[in-house]
Amino acid sequence: MTSGGAFDAAAAPLPGPATLAGGRPIRRVLLMQLKWMGDVLMCTPAIRAVRRAFPQAKLDFVTGVEGAAVLEGNPHLDEVLRWRRGVRGSWRTAWEIARRRYDAVVDFRSTPRDAWFVLASGARIRAGMRGRGPRTLAYTQLFEWAQGPRYMAARKLEPLRALGIEPGPPHDLALELVVSAAERAWAQDALACHGLDAAGAPAAPIVAVSPVTRIHYKQWGAEKWAAVADALAGAGARVLITSGPGELEQARAVAQRMRHPAVFDYGRTTIRQLAALYERCALWVGNDGGAKHIAVAVGTPTLTVFRHRESEVWTDLSSASPHLAIEREPVLPCVYPHCGKCPHLSCLEQLGAGDVVALATRAYQAAVRTGPCRGPGPNHPAVAATRAGADGPAAAASPAGEPR
């Protein structure tokens, strides 16, 4: 037993799909990740694993509005409950959870707020990640955050041990996002309207560049991103600079610094319309953030600029993966994971435009040679054999990583 009264899951792994007292089967399961769209996408391998283990169970997921958007149409879920911020929204969510009488709840984030919802469920099995303080009392089983660098999608499988599910093989970590025919038709029309697509057949491969972020310590810089975009255009790509709500001016700043033309103002999109645009791209390059995970989920190879210690947590860098990441060690004292308090961000300052240009150009040429690889699954061709940290391995990440 732990000091908080929860069962120490690491001490007694379960051999197969769990049951309730008396051998009764688990019939109703709730998975929980309230915040961060990218983290919700990282949960999709876990969703598949639970569905495989409990094919007849009712399987629901509770998350915020953005998370609900990326889970819309997920074939493994029966229902997505939408949590809304504020006291009224939280009470409503707690009531919705309680009245469904779940047998098991798995909480992937395990904050104090999450713990209240877990406790409200009244479920016999309540699994989460170990934290500090009285919130641990809400859980019947607690799991440790993995030490050292480990891809977040693999970490999300750990609390499934409470259901008797052992983490699956590494090749089953593909992210999953469903794009509808209507959203694909919209993307084709939008690209055609801006001269990037002609009758469904691109005149040249499209590269999505996502140089935007609302988090200052993830921003590499407009001048550097313009240099990368120009290099890709010079290599034959058509450049689509993408952005989300409140980020258009960042995209414009990059386009204005480029020598080559680029499309950046294509109107507002939903998350799934953005996914449909990324489906039609040969490559995605950009800052660390949710947009990168959308591109990964639709099978588009990616190259991401990270701050120090984040690459291996938020990118699948296995040998079969088409995804690349690049980061540099800071030359000044590092305050990771409290990057918002860093006065210098020297890890990003150390990364020159030429470093990313070289890697992005190779990734683009490889993507053009191999052709598109679409949909979640393990069969993505490798974009490049050279990993982003060619002059040194990425450093170990913190146990919990950073939220998206």
Q: How far is CA 186 from CA 82, 193, 204, 266, in A?
A: 26, 10, 19, 12
Taken in order of first residue, the domains within the chain and their CATH numbers are 7-172 (3.40.50.2000), 181-370 (3.40.50.2000)
DSSP run (H or E) holding 216: none
- List CB contacts of 314: < 8 A, sequence separation 6 or more: 38, 151, 152, 288, 292, 293, 304, 306, 325, 401, 404
pLDDT score of 390: 32
* Longest pairwise C-alpha distance within the chain: 70
| Dihedral pair phi/psi, residue 19, rounded to 5° | -130, 170
The whole-chain average pLDDT of the chain stands at: 82
Structure-block tokens of residue 193: 């309207």
SS3 177: coil
Task: Please say whether the beta carbons of 98 and 122 come within 8 A.
Answer: yes
CA angle 98–102–108, rounded 5-degree value: 95
Residue 379 has pLDDT above 60, yes or no: no
Residue 65 has pLDDT above 50, yes or no: yes
Residue 223 has pLDDT above 60, yes or no: yes
Q: Residue 301: name the closest of 172, 208, 173 by CA.
A: 208
Bin 373: left if φ > 0, else alpha if -120 < ψ < 50, else beta: beta
Structure-block tokens of residue 248: 């258009």
If pLDDT is split at 50, 70 and 90, which confidence band does 156 have?
Answer: very high
pTM for the whole thing? Answer: 0.83
Q: Does 381 sit behind a cis peptide bond, omega within 30 degrees of 0 on the bond before it? A: no
